Chains A and B, each alone.
Chain A
Amino acid sequence: MEIKRKNKTQLLSKIATNDRYGENSPYFDGWKAYDNNPFHPTQNPNGVIQMGLAENKLCFDLIKKWIMENPDASICTAGGVDKFKDVAIFQDYHGLKEFREAIAKFMGRVGGNKVTFDASRIVMSSGATGANETIMFCLVNPGDAFLVPSPYYPGFARDLRWRTGLEIVPVDCKSSNNFRITRAAMEDAYEKAQKWNLNVKGIIIANPSNPLGTTLDIETMRSLVAFVNEKNIHLVCDEIYAATVFDSPRFVSVAEVIQDMDCCNRDLIHIVYSLSKDMGIPGFRVGIVYSFNDDVMLCARKMSSFGLVSSQTQYLLASMLSDDGFVGNFLRESSKRLAKRHYVFTKGLEQVGISCLTSNAGLFFWMDMRLLLKEQSFEGEIELWRVILNELKLNVSPGSSFQCSEPGWFRVCFANMDDETVEVALNRIRAFVLNRENQESNRSKRCWRKKHLRLSFSSTRLYDETIMSPCMISPHSPLVRAKT
């Protein structure tokens, strides 16, 4: 139907018309390239391989098996339908008791059973996206600031800031110490915020880190807790990748750290969790706010009315996560498969001289491409990214979209594809590096006086101009529909 479009006589709000919805970045442009030309092993072997989406596709077989063996957990089967009515009318924002208990138990197990989570403190949200925004609504007023160690998840720009009016002040972390969050860097960021007249209300970290793929060590965790207590600000720990740890050191939740710290004001400590990464079910929108602060817990619970988890989903997961045998097996298998995938990839890259930050968690690794930059700058990084995207047809994510303070780093996702696709991706990278080395060696033989490095490929096609515009907003969702 044709609706005549008037010339913006309908004014929308400032929130609606600013650009804090955060889709203007290479992070999302790369997804568009994938959308337009998705890789398929037989139907489109030259397509773009999606390595920019941190999805966990490695353990669906385990979940599917459980579902088929437990038909009563679904209210749509003959066995479960007598629960349909009670579940369908349940909209209490406390959530199903069995669901909260199952989640609390699961979080405890993921934390290595070093700490017990209280089921009555579990508050629901629509994914971690909803949880992070909800916490900010509880803690900040428009114009306040939160410190965020960089590099950080690009979605924070939207989730923390868009509707809350929050400002982000990055805490710069450096490769010289493997991007650890130092006390000095935190102090620096805090002072910078003061200079800009920003009221700092807290610091938010992701542990394990996205995009680094590393768990925070206990010393850093203690240092964070001490810092927030001294400044009397909040500490929000996004632990969404907690169960993706596949190597030592083990995951240590902030809940465990504060158990041994008597000096800590627990009212400052809040955890965000979700099943989207650990279990690979982002579609189910299961986000959790777990705050040690009663007022925040009560407020977040009221706010959860705006993003409750579907009772149908609560019911299914309550059943699944209460199955101790299933959970134990799932966590073990998942770690094993992630470890193997990580090893294959990083070893493969190592063989062609590409190194990655040593990591033990996450669905991605942090790849060091500094040596391949034409110039050590963010322009150089974007130029290399364009080559990787358009010539190698790999959608990896440039470090600048994570606000990394140093150019040349890229996040590469590895858990969202099958083994064959991993091989294809590695082969493309090998070919690129070897080709580059040949070019280098030929160039230095023929034209040693020339200043510029030329990269030439078999394809005569130059990079696609339509993707280059930094103002390009994808009309499609950046959240790509999954394809096997």
Chain B
Amino acid sequence: MAIEIEKPSSVRLSKVAISKTHGEDSPYFAGWKAYDENPYDEIHNQSGVIQMGLAENQVSFDLLEKYLEEHHEVSSWGKGAPGFRENALFQDYHGLKSFRQAMANFMEQIRGGKAKFDPDRIVLTAGATAANELLTFILADPGDALLVPTPYYPGFDRDLRWRTGVKIVPIHCNSSNNFQITPEALEAAYQSAESMDLKVRGILITNPSNPLGSTIQSSVLNDILDFAAHKNIHLVSDEIYSGSTFSPSEFVSIAEILRNRNYKDAERVHIVYSLSKDLGLPGFRVGTIYSYNDDVVTTARRMSSFTLISSQTQHLLACMLSNHEFTQNYIKTNRERLNKRYDMIIQGLKKAGIECLKGNAGLFCWMNLSPLLNEPTRQGELELWNIILNQVKLNISPGSSCHCSEPGWFRVCFANMSEQTLRVALQRIHKFMEQRKVCSVNQ
């Protein structure tokens, strides 16, 4: 219930406060509103909007719940679990050592032991949202630029730019080569920044990619790192979906690339990670920055004072992630279930006559509806999106909100619902495509 204020505020707020860079006026968020107002429910609201615009992982909760049921004495402060007082007081910005150790181990396990992580290089933040913003504050000055491959996660517009005053210059990728990042595209982006008088401070990649749902190949990672070294800029690799690759062998972390190069150029590399996607715990606000640069680690740690992780949560997760049997089984099972979900949606879309980019990771697929556009423009894409949202009642995310340079692509999330709901969604799509065929035949 908002309090009604009659007279307008006569004192100006900051430029940051009145800007629109928080990015909430985009269709990405408008679709969520439509869902909020009319949410699908298997029993109570079968004609409601199905949420396919939220990249959440709900396929493996039972594993977490089972762990807690079997180990609650260890992670809670009940009888037999000392330390409530010490835990409640613990606000050291280094973070709980046991938690950092557990995170380092978990990150190593995800990478199949192909990279090692030093717990003392782990800086904790309240989510990857905070980690990306914090790194931007450290690596760039207001007015500087970061190069980001398109299409990219819509939240970057806020996280990298809003309070930092830093600009994003896109590295354009397109479908002709499956949206891979090329040296030519990197150079073109850099030149574009220079022509706008912007000082480029770094490149930020997401690997596996959101929204593409695919991993970046080793050769491309090497090219990107070479480019960063050549231009003397930073490289941030957001690996938030690293544990969500369907097959362990297909993900190559920048950490592995560095190891293979004997850590040459490592001091310009920084990795962002979080438990929000791989473990499905976005509410707990667990993000990390892993930097190979001592100054960045020290500064990031100090700055993390503004965004520390609740010690209660650090304690719980330190216990959970230190249990190797649990983490091993979780990582393996989670991958299998995501793979199965992915196959289900791809097959379902194929039957409806829809193609997707070949994916191998993430909680979503990158769907190509360009043949359905009235006109091959952003406007045409948004018109189609409106129909899908309001008539088919599926909240999917239009590619333009991800800054995709080609209209007609949509990100469709599949891991945040039950299999039954996914089946309903696929039926609706099938019906929609059938109706369109009939219409076009009749014209």
Q: Among A127-135, A205-213, A251-259, A344-352, which stretch is in contact with chain B?
A: A127-135
A63-B88, A295-B13 are contacts. A285–B232 as well, Cβ < 8 Å? no
Residues of B123-160 at the interface with A, using a CB-CB cut-off of 8 Å, are 126-127, 129-130, 133, 137-142, 144, 158
State the total of A-B contacts with C-beta under 8 angstroms. Answer: 274
| Segment of B288-296, B345-353, B389-397 in the binding face | B288-296
Which of A79-87, A106-114, A176-184 is found at the contact surface with chain B? A79-87
Interface contact B312-A283, CB-CB below 8 Å: yes
Q: Is B371 an interface residue (CB 8 A)?
A: no
Q: Are B141 and A13 in contact (CB under 8 A)?
A: yes
Residue of B nearest to A119 (CB): B1
- Are A76's CB and B295's CB within 8 A? no
Most buried by A among B11, B267, B294: B11
Q: Which residues of chain A in 261-286 are interfacial with respect to chain B, using CB atoms and an 8 Å cutoff?
A: 265-268, 276, 280-285
Could you say which interface size class chain B belongs to? Answer: 35 or more
User: Which residues of chain B have C-beta atoms less than 8 A from A163's C-beta?
Assistant: 137, 163, 303, 306
* A6 / chain B contacts, CB cutoff of 8 Å: 267
Query: Would A81 and B87 be within 8 Å (CB), given that A21-B299, A233-B11, A296-B13 are in contact?
Result: no
Q: CA of A152 to CA of B11 in the docked complex: distance in angstroms?
A: 26
Q: Interface stretch among B16-24, B37-45, B176-184, B326-334?
A: B16-24
Q: Check B92–A480 contact: CB distance below 8 A.
A: yes
The answer to whether B9 has its CB under 8 Å from any CB of chain A is: yes
B384 in contact (CB, < 8 A): no
Tell me, yes or no, whether B77 is within 8 Å of chain A by CB. Answer: yes
Within 8 A of A (CB), among B15-34: 15-18, 22, 24
Convert B293-319 into 0s and 1s, putting 1 for each residue whose CB lies closer than 8 angstroms to a CB of A: 111100101110111111111001000
Complex interface: stretch among B67-75, B336-344, B424-432:
B67-75
Contact (A137, B17) CB under 8 Å given A13-B138, A67-B84? yes
* A306 partner residues in chain B, CB cutoff 8 A: 126-127, 129-130, 133, 163, 306-307
B161 at the A/B interface (Cβ < 8 Å)? Answer: no
Please tell me if the beta carbons of B72 and A282 are within 8 angstroms of each other in the complex: no
Q: Residues of A contacting B282 with CB < 8 Å?
A: 88-91
Q: Answer whether A3 and B89 are a contact pair too, CB < 8 Å, given A130-B307, A308-B127.
A: no
Known: A23-B302, A91-B282. A126 touches B307 (CB 8 A): yes
B77 proximity list for chain A (CB < 8 A): 64, 67-68, 74
Q: Which of B58, B88, B116, B292 contacts A281 (CB 8 A)?
A: B88
* Contact (Cβ within 8 A) A283 B90: yes
A354 within 8 A of B: no
Chain B residues with Cβ below 8 Å from A14 are 141
A285 to B314, CA, bound (A): 12
CB distance from A403 to the nearest CB of B (A): 20
- Chain A residue at minimum C-beta to C-beta distance from B258: A3
CB <8 Å contact, B16 and A5: no
A8 to B77, CA, bound (A): 46
Q: Does A129 contact B306, Cβ atoms closer than 8 Å? A: yes
Please measure, in the bound complex, the distance between the C-alpha atom of A482 and the C-alpha atom of B311, giving whole angstroms.
13
Q: How far is the CB of B80 from chain A (nearest CB, A)?
A: 11
Q: Which of A372-431 contact B (CB under 8 A)?
A: none
Would you call A433 an interface residue if the criterion is a C-beta within 8 Å of the partner chain's C-beta atoms? no
B405 at the interface (CB under 8 A from A): no
Contact B302 A309 (CB under 8 A): no
A305 to chain B, nearest CB (A): 5
Chain A contacts with B in 109-167, Cβ cutoff 8 A: 118, 120-121, 126-127, 129-130, 133, 137-142, 144, 158-159, 162-163
Q: Is the CB of A266 within 8 A of B5?
A: yes
The reply on B65 being an interface residue by CB < 8 A is: yes
Inter-subunit contact A9/B232 (CB<8 Å): yes
The docked-state distance in angstroms from the alpha carbon of A126 to that of B311 is 12
- Which of A21, A57, A88, A293 contacts B89 (CB under 8 A)? A57
CB distance A63 to B17 under 8 Å?
A: no
Q: Which residues of B contact A2 (CB under 8 A)?
A: 263
Cβ contact of B296, chosen from A12, A141, A293, cutoff 8 A: A12
Q: Which residues of A contact B281 (CB under 8 A)?
A: 88-89
Interface membership of A195, Cβ < 8 A:
no
Q: Chain B residues with Cβ under 8 A from A120's Cβ?
A: 1-2
A269 CB, min distance to chain B CBs, angstroms: 11
Q: Does A445 contact B (CB under 8 A)?
A: no
A77 interface hit (Cβ, 8 Å): yes
Does B268 interact with chain A (Cβ within 8 Å)? yes
CA distance A82 to B61 in the complex (A): 11
Closest chain A residue to B91, Cβ basis = A282
* A13 CA / B24 CA spacing, docked (Å): 27
Q: Report which B residues bind A (CB closer than 8 A).
A: 1-3, 5, 7, 9-11, 13-18, 22, 24, 56, 58, 61, 64-65, 68-69, 72, 75-79, 84-94, 116, 118, 126-127, 129-130, 133, 137-142, 144, 158, 163, 201, 232, 234, 263-264, 266-268, 276, 280-285, 292-296, 299, 301-303, 305-313, 316
Nearest 10 pairs of A and B residues by beta carbon: A283-B311, A311-B283, A482-B89, A310-B310, A91-B282, A282-B91, A90-B283, A283-B90, A267-B9, A16-B138
Complex A-B: 10 CB contacts under 8 Å: A15-B141, A84-B65, A137-B16, A137-B163, A141-B14, A283-B91, A295-B18, A309-B310, A310-B283, A482-B85
Interface residues of A (CB under 8 A from B): 1-6, 8-10, 12-16, 21, 23, 55, 57, 60, 63-64, 67-68, 71, 74-78, 81-82, 84-85, 87-91, 118, 120-121, 126-127, 129-130, 133, 137-142, 144, 158-159, 162-163, 232-234, 265-268, 276, 280-285, 292-296, 299, 302-303, 305-313, 316, 477, 479-482, 484
